[in-house]
Structure 1
Amino acid sequence: MEHSPLWLLTNSASGSNTDSAVDEVAASLAAAGHAPGRVIRFPDEDLPTGEELDAAGVATLAIFTGDGTINAAGSALEGWGGALLVLPGGTQNLLAKSLHGDVPVEAITGALSSARKIRRRAIRTSQGAGLIEVLAGPGAMWADVREGVRDLDLATIAESFGNAFRETRDGPGVRLTDPVAGKAEGYRAVRIGCSGDQLEADGYDFADFGEFAAQGFAMLVKRDFRQGPHDELGTFDAVTLVSEAPIALMIDGERREGGREERITCDTFALDFISTAPAGA
């Protein structure tokens, strides 16, 4: 598979995107025979468009950022004829892990000669597509705390932590109504991902809010909440979420604001991703 010409997209706000780290990634790509023809440093530079990439003859856009920037770049490029090479450059790197396994950049670039192109399913909401997951409900407010942590802004952390705690404690829950599933009163957070061709939904409720205030920072801010207590609500072709207030959304780790009713679907995302993991892994 030919991956060149290749451009590299980075994000200075992602934790691992130091100048030296970017240089190492570029060197690793060059050692694999795919030296970046250009390095785009977002947000100082705009995300590339499909037209811009086509005009330059780019075959592959390598992305060394967190999941949120990958989502933004991928969403802007849906329908483009090239391919995305997702490299682990953020905190959780969930998309990179799903495409390559939990391996470092060097292992990915070293396996490019045997890589394959795949299409992925996406979770569709009124506020955009999730390539990994969507969290809906008051619990999604914890993504605002993440922003403060990312910027090391203590005032923002304190304010957003208080808001997230209050909303999770007092905000109206989210219910699944079409089809009906789970608790009639709803949940503090509903996590939705794709499982094969269907949506997979889990409901999270937090009875002990003092404990949740301590755990919420670690679980939701770090997006490692899957291991927490939850109800497995099932798999669905599509789901409708309803609430008495606009539904807070966290799409691939980034905050969005939905409506009081959100219809969530799952379909194929019209963009090729490069995977170095064995087929079926």
Structure 2
Amino acid sequence: MTDAPAPIDPPVAPRLTPHVSMKRVTILVNPLSGGVGPQAAAEAEAILSVYDFEATVTTLEGPRIADQIGEALAAKPDVLFVLAGDGTARSVAARAGAKGPLIAPLPGGTMNMLPKALYGTADWKLTLRLALEDGAPQVVSGGEVEGEAFYCAAILGAPALWAPAREAMRTGKLKLAWLYGRRALKRAFSGHIRFSLDGGDRRRAEALVLISPMISKVMDEPVGLEAAAMTPSDAAQAFALAARAVFDDWRHDPNVMTQPARRITVSARSKIPAVIDGEPMLLGRNATVVFLPRAFMALAPLPPAAEGSI
């Protein structure tokens, strides 16, 4: 008589973060975004299936994206993950607002500024697990210009034209970088912008960079956007400034002036080129930027210094 096989214990679900109660989780997936791919929805479903909650995976479909975002928010999940491009992630966060569900934007776009700021990685699968197992509610401040919200940085002025070329070069898309660079050369340094911070005197600059408290290295509290005005003396200096990283070198340059501001007005003789959280766009000749102290609530691991406060 042979012994009966020993019973196999069921797999143990991974530990969920102790900082948030998660019973219902939704993830929106755009397979057409540059950093996603056609298998992403199935891969996300496989990852979520091992956790102890009800999971919904929605594949975004072109003309229905706006409606699908609305439906996902109306369902009021505990956490809404977004695996899509930078613009879609910003749109979901903006529509959720401070009173919506926790938002977790996964890196599925080109520049992924917001996901990198929150999670420090461009690997969406790792980001998903980090948020589920170590995430905590975090207030994300930001800004808004002409109805477009941003949570990392907005670059206004001619040097903004170089951002797409720099990103294309960084990712090895040399032909695209050349096309973007040629466009920037045609339009760069054709005019200055004039700006005013919180109703103060109007000043002139080559470009104005508005950095959120989440990114800023000089603000300990979310009292406003860090406004960095670039005033190079010639085109060569402006080229050098535009080639540097937004969050590292500009504020240390003697040609850059920084101070916090809650309301910023900007004007120029022609439409103002801008990059909003990595996305290039063209603003009107006059634009107003306002600070959003509580733009939305994110689910992300806490910085080391804040872990003891939970």
Q: Report the equivalent of 2:239.
A: 212
- TM-aligned CA deviation for residue 185 of structure 1: 4.2
- TM-aligned CA deviation for residue 122 of structure 1: 1.5
Q: How does 1:1-281 map to 2 (within 5 A)?
A: 1-34=20-53, 36-43=55-62, 45-48=64-67, 51-53=70-72, 56-78=75-97, 81-102=100-121, 104=123, 105-106=125-126, 108-110=128-130, 112-142=132-162, 145=165, 159-169=179-189, 171-178=190-197, 179-180=200-201, 185-187=204-206, 189-195=207-213, 196-204=222-230, 207-209=234-236, 212=239, 224-229=245-250, 230=253, 231-278=256-303, 280=306
Deviations 1:34-62 (A, max 9, x none): 56412223536413566512554533221
Q: Cα distance 1:275–1:147, how it changes in 2: closer, same or farther (>3 A)?
A: closer
CA separation in 2, counterparts of 1:123 and 1:4? 31
CA separation in 1, counterparts of 2:201 and 2:49? 52
Q: Cα distance 1:144–1:101, how it changes in 2: closer, same or farther (>3 A)?
A: closer
Is the radius of gyration larger for structure 1 or structure 2? 2
> Can you give the 5+ residue segments of structure 2 that lack an aligned partner in the other structure?
1-19, 214-221
Q: Cα distance 1:31–1:48, how it changes in 2: closer, same or farther (>3 A)?
A: farther
How many residue pairs get aligned? The number is: 269
Deviations 1:187-209 (A, max 9, x none): 1x221012322110223456455
> Can you give the 5+ residue segments of structure 1 that lack an aligned partner in the other structure?
none
* Identity value in percent: 21
SS at match of 1:120: strand
- Which has the higher mean CA deviation after the structures are superposed, 264-273 or 27-36? 27-36
Query: Please, what is the CA RMSD of the aligned residues?
Result: 3.6
SS at match of 1:95: helix
- TM-aligned CA deviation for residue 211 of structure 1: 9.4
- Which has the higher mean CA deviation after the structures are superposed, 254-263 or 242-251? 254-263
- Which has the higher mean CA deviation after the structures are superposed, 98-107 or 229-238? 98-107
CA separation in 1, counterparts of 2:73 and 2:259? 41
Tell me the TM-score normalized by structure 2: 0.70
